[in-house]
Each structure stands twice: as C-alpha cells, then as structure tokens.
Amino acid sequence: MAYAGKKKRGESPKLDMTPMIDVVFQLLIFFVVTIKQEDILSQLSAARPAPDKNAKPDKQPDLLNIIVAPQGFIFNGRPVTLADLDRRIERYSKISKTAMIVIKCTADSPHGLLIQALDICSKHGMENLSIFSM
C-alpha cells in the first residue's frame, strides 16, 4: 500500500495523447491539401512605340514583320505555323540580333499568341521588338 502511494507521487502523470495527435494530424492534412506551389514566371519585354511613329513602320531596314491573327501567324506576308516562325526567326537571328521586329496584332487575336511570338523572339535573342495594334 505504502509502496503504491510512493510510486504514484514519483511518476509523472500519464497524459492521453490520442486526441492531440488526432487534431494535429487533421491540421497537417489540411495544410498539405491546401498548399499550392507557385509557378516559376518569366517576363517578355517589348517596346510600345508612340502612335505617331506608328504611321510608317515599314520604312526601316532589317525589318521583320510578324502579324498575329486569330488563326495564327503571318511572317513577312506569308502565313506560317509556330514551328515555321521559330525556324525563320532563328535564321534571321544568325544574321543580326538587332534587326527590328515589328509584331502587329489584330484586335481579335488572343493574347496567348502574342506571348508565343514574343517567346520565340526572346529564344533567339532578338532585341528590338515593338508591338503595334491593328
């Protein structure tokens, strides 16, 4: 009897851990499910010339013309696919990286196509990009 009482005092009281572990696991699962990894973003820069310069963009030398239409791209007057455009820009980039590229967008073309065109120009290191709206 005396022994039992002595033991009770010396021992730390046993806590029931089960509810706490349940709650903590619930929290953990909640946070694991709700966490969302961020995409790695990139920026594509281009110049937007003043409207008065808009009048005669075709007069400059070394000018490459990309028209972004709702259906696809038109490069120097010829309709091209994205892979085609990639190949043509690559060829021009070997001659000159500073050639002026004019990207003209029609009003109803989706913004994604413009980004694709800008991405290709950035891929081949073209520096002089300007965006016109039609």
List interacting residues with another protein (CB under 8 A).
17, 20-21, 24-25, 27-28, 31-32, 34-51, 68, 105-112, 114-116, 118-120, 122-123, 131, 133
Instruction: Using alpha carbons only, give the angle 92, 125, 109 rounded to the nearest 5 degrees.
Output: 80
Nearer to another protein, 2 or 12 (CB): 12
Nearer to another protein, 64 or 121 (CB): 121
Instruction: Work out the angle at residue 81's Cα, subtended by the Cα atoms of residues 61 and 46, and round it to the nearest 5 degrees.
Output: 45
* CA torsion angle 74 79 83 85 (round to 10): -40
Provide the token pair at 91. Answer: 């060829």
Q: To the nearest whole angstrom, how small is the minimum distance from the Cβ of residue 15 to another protein?
A: 10
CB of 119 to another protein, least distance (A): 4
